[in-house]
A and B are shown apart, each in its own frame.
Chain A
């Protein structure tokens, strides 16, 4: 399915602006962005709950614009589920089948399959208010899946659940989606959710697509500063391009940062001109923190820094360090494995105020457009 030049404005401000996107059959595509970025509007345009000002919504090559939502073959799971409060779980599940006048026997069979698939056995007679959040979520999903839609739309379906349940349902959803092979478009503002669930992530901001890539792509090679900062934590480094194209290492480019040479990745095929100034980004876990008693590795990029603060996060320790010549402090995440947390003496972990140096392995940094 594809979206071509989709546009929708509320008043003067466009909520979705020139959205073009290909969603491969059977894939799990996530629209990721802050609230107000237009991701929910985009989803509603696909579902037919809103009509676009311009553009096309192609499903199986057929334009759906102008078709009412009940004829699109698209299943939508709403943010707050929109379960019918006056209907039991069973009646909610078979609602769509009734609307299609599916005969009773087939209806019962499909509902039974959904009940088994989603682990709703024993709850068929209950009403929505008698269900837990997770169960409501499953009914909302099952209600759509019994219709065997060509495209499944989900609008932040886990946002009102607690963290533990969210993790479990996320894993279940991923397995279910793979098993059924249903093309899915998922909307969320939670980057972790987007990265862990998707085959393809679409990062949006103020109605416009910022980047379409694999989860690894948007995380490791963000297209621009917005994507870098929205998808995870980003350390920014002012840089100047020294070499690009064939002069640079394969697929990347060579920069100068704080007076030292640095090799970096490129987010896409575009290449900056040599001499251009800009920003590079480094993820906190890719930075190596060196104390005075550890010998620095040979080669690579390094800089002197001062520790400002330190916090414990269970699996890792996070340092706020200041680099001369860089305005925002950097975050450095140091994993706490048995070799570090267990055996390194406390004196080996730099305290606030300590002078340290930081190093970047080759291609730890990525160029931002």
Chain B
């Protein structure tokens, strides 16, 4: 404690700029992360809890949620890992092409997968009804499962791709030299080394699926999960207590997963940091032929499915009445580009949120690792906390916390921007922290030696060196924020419409053409915004580790 006071005193005397930044960051995290969660935790009365825990309908929703999360997380991980292994280690033909397919999916909002599912496989789906003449439908668990897998496997792919690339091939070669055959190398060296990454991806996906309700809403039919229940309780019945309690139920598995992942990470972090280091430049050993070709087949299959599902949305946008009248029309497209307000808000709020998220990620990562400020562990936890909070719960928390004094923010754009920024803070923070760890402390020390204060050192040395990490954070937060539904659906108002929310509403009303057109427009403007960013920011923008050169 006294040490903390002393370091504060030192900051006050020599580094007031950093002290101010520290105070602001701490205040922001307290006000927008900790306080809303405390507020929502206090909302449900004993009666609300009793009702939520005893009503069979909610019990079934909880069970459905668990099943959905378990299935979707497992299948996303399997698919993402196989895909990442195929393009990094198995060197399948066309690996460079395949390596961008999941990224393409990340560029499109997750609920577009759900929308595509309905258009392809729904009651009047292109594949089921028109081609196969089937009356079956995707509505229900299997539809949600498939849509979530398609939405979330790119995350697993991204994380695992990085992990596979980080495994020094010399280790695999050394295992070969010690007598391991190809399968043994995979089982005894490669997979154990990517296990921490697998767990991190599992956590991210599981919590994403827990809190997501775009896909369950679109393809769930009568299959209700907790996230959709929270939404209907709040918006349909205005029952704050019930929806808060339902949201808090989501927090139980989320926090358990979060704690497990933190524990594993703490245990393996140091050990897995490559010992020795300096990779010898050996290529990884080749994988068995049958494996390579099966992975190739998988890549082709997934790519075709991705193309079909994205393509059908564009086609749907130009079709008069999906499933009934397949004639070409520009009517929906005209409607979509008439929704300038919603599209503009999506872009504006998402870019502001991404900016806020990036700045905060950098600041907190620097403060925790190099700032010498007190309560670093608390700062670290508060920043990572949103990773354990399902989006729906965060939405309810924000509605409850900012509906009245001291901060009345409902109906404003600000609340949406802050909610978006907080949702992606943990990921951005991890990206920045990892990048700062790679920077030698001697750089900071020499800046100080040459007369820079810590804040100056951060702005003049650290931040410029971290440009790739900052760009990655910004792009990630931006793309995710554009397509987000789970949190912001509680926060939009008549004055602050968002394209993603409008699309969901249109789809729910059965206006498939308009929904598809607006979704297509959203994808197009997102891509255009990113292209603009590339042109302006140039080389430092690496989209999840992919440079403009595509390497």
Contacts and interface: CB of A to CB of B under 8 A. Distances in A.
Interface of A: 40, 44, 47-49, 68-71, 74-76, 78-86, 95-96, 98-100, 127-129, 136, 143-144, 147, 155, 160
A85 B176 contact: no
Contacts of B181: 68, 70, 99
A96 B176 CA distance: 9
A136 B178 contact: no
B178 A85 contact: no
Given A85-B271, A129-B270, A47 B177 contact: yes
B13 interface: no
B179 interface: yes
A132 to B, nearest CB: 11
B269 to A, nearest CB: 10
Interface in B371-390: none
A128 B275 contact: yes
A69 B277 contact: no
A123 B255 CA distance: 37
B222 interface: no
Interface in B166-217: 168, 170-171, 173-181, 184, 188-189, 192-193, 195
Report, as a range, how many residues of chain B touch the other chain. Answer: 20 to 34
Contacts of A127: 271
Contacts of B277: 80
A95 B188 contact: yes
Given A86-B193, A136-B276, A160-B276, A80 B170 contact: yes
Given A69-B176, A76-B177, A99-B178, A82 B170 contact: yes
Interface of B: 168, 170-171, 173-181, 184, 188-189, 192-193, 195, 268, 270-280, 282, 285
A80 B176 contact: no
B179 A78 contact: no
Given A78-B170, A78-B280, A86-B192, A96 B275 contact: no
Contacts of A76: 174, 177
A297 to B, nearest CB: 52
Given A44-B282, A85-B193, A85-B271, A99 B276 contact: no
Contacts of B179: 70-71, 96, 99-100, 147
Nearest to A137: B276
Contacts of B280: 40, 78-80, 82, 155
A155 B281 CA distance: 13
Contacts of A136: 275-276
A200 to B, nearest CB: 23
Contacts of A99: 175, 178-181, 184, 188
Given A86-B268, A95-B178, 15 more contacts: A40-B280, A69-B176, A70-B176, A71-B179, A80-B170, A81-B275, A82-B168, A84-B174, A99-B179, A99-B180, A99-B188, A128-B275, A129-B270, A129-B273, A144-B178
Contacts of A96: 178-180
B275 A85 contact: yes
Most buried by A among B173, B181, B278: B173
B548 to A, nearest CB: 25
Query: Which 10 A-B pairs give the minimum distances between C-beta atoms?
Result: A80-B276, A96-B178, A82-B174, A99-B179, A128-B275, A69-B176, A82-B170, A99-B180, A76-B177, A70-B179
14 contacts: A40-B280, A70-B177, A76-B174, A78-B174, A79-B280, A85-B273, A85-B274, A86-B195, A99-B180, A127-B271, A129-B270, A129-B273, A136-B275, A155-B280
A37 B458 CA distance: 43
Which residue among B168, B176, B179 has the maximum number of chain A CB atoms within 10 Å of its CB?
A: B179
Contacts of B285: 69
Given A86-B192, A160-B276, A143 B173 contact: no
B171 A82 contact: yes
A48 B189 CA distance: 19
Nearest to A83: B275
Contacts of B279: 80
A64 to B, nearest CB: 13
Contacts of B278: 79-80, 160
A74 B177 contact: yes
B450 to A, nearest CB: 30
Contacts of B170: 78, 80, 82
B276 A82 contact: yes
Given A84-B189, A86-B193, A68 B176 contact: yes
Contacts of A81: 275-276
A143 B178 contact: yes
B192 to A, nearest CB: 5
A86 B173 contact: no
Given A49-B176, A70-B181, A99-B179, A83 B282 contact: no
Nearest to B276: A80
A75 B175 CA distance: 11
A69 to B, nearest CB: 4
A69 B274 contact: no
B175 A95 contact: yes
Nearest to A146: B178
Contacts of A129: 270-271, 273, 275
A40 B168 CA distance: 17
A20 B175 CA distance: 28
A99 B182 CA distance: 11
Given A82-B173, A82-B174, A70 B180 contact: yes
Nearest to B282: A49
Nearest to A159: B278
Contacts of A40: 280
Contacts of B171: 82, 84-85
Contacts of B195: 86
A69 B173 contact: yes
Nearest to B174: A82
Contacts of A95: 175, 178, 180, 188
B396 to A, nearest CB: 41
B275 A70 contact: no
Contacts of A143: 178
Contacts of A44: 282
Contacts of B282: 44, 49
A79 B274 CA distance: 14
Contacts of B174: 76, 78, 82, 84
Contacts of A83: 275-276
Contacts of B275: 80-81, 83, 85, 128-129, 136
Nearest to B196: A86
A47 B285 CA distance: 13
B299 to A, nearest CB: 26
Nearest to A86: B192
Nearest to A133: B276
A100 B175 CA distance: 12
A292 B96 CA distance: 75
Contacts of B189: 84
A70 B184 CA distance: 11
A131 B170 CA distance: 19
A86 B272 CA distance: 6
A81 B276 CA distance: 7
A130 to B, nearest CB: 8
Given A81-B275, A82-B171, A70 B178 contact: yes
B63 to A, nearest CB: 36
A278 B201 CA distance: 68
A193 B54 CA distance: 77
Nearest to A102: B179
A69 B193 contact: no
A143 B279 CA distance: 19
A49 B177 contact: yes
